[in-house]
Amino acid sequence: MTNRVHIDAPAGVVEIEGEKDFVEGLLAKLFPLLEEAGFGSRPPNSTPAPAVEEASDVEDAVPEQTGKPKAKKRSVNKPPKGHSCADRIISLKTEGFFKEHRSGSEIVEGLKGKGWTHAGNQVGAALTQMFARGDIQRTKEGNGSWKYFWDRD
């Protein structure tokens, strides 16, 4: 038979479920800790009591903090303005490079002619984003590959 104890002491909530001996043993360990912490002695809207540190006797206790500082979030390493692949493709566009329909490999070569080396997949990703933003136009050629151009100036 399973026994269950539910203590709500204004929303501090402690639930214990298990065999009678287990529940009674755990309650015997918890009551002194709860009384010492003043569990339920404050109105529900006041600030919470500090966490009880002596929970090492209780099974499945939450491990204590290790004292390590929180890990810093990694910042996104963006290139300076004008140095991304898309920015460089836009500079080709302003020079009239896209008056003719260009394939991805032609664009890689055009960038290389300016001294900028970018891999084909990098250029392809930039072109896809640029097309989604409306910065460049594209059409599918007979062999199934995309050709990029700009005729709106």
CATH number, residue 130: 1.10.10.10
Backbone angles phi, psi at 141, to 5 degrees: -85, 175
Q: In terms of domains, do 101 and 49 share one? A: no
CA atoms lying within 13 Å on the CB side of residue 125: 7
User: DSSP character for 55?
Assistant: G
Let me know if residue 120 belongs to a domain: yes
Tokens of 30: 């918890």
Let me know if residue 142 belongs to a domain: yes
Question: What is the tally of structural domains in the chain?
Answer: 2
Distance of CA 134 to the CA centre of its chain: 28
Range of the domain at 128: 85-149
pTM score: 0.49
Per-residue pLDDT tens, the chain, 153 aa: give them. Answer: 666 776 666 656 677 777 878 777 877 777 777 677 666 665 555 555 544 444 444 444 445 556 778 888 887 777 677 789 999 999 999 999 999 999 999 999 999 999 999 999 999 999 999 999 999 999 998 888 999 999 886
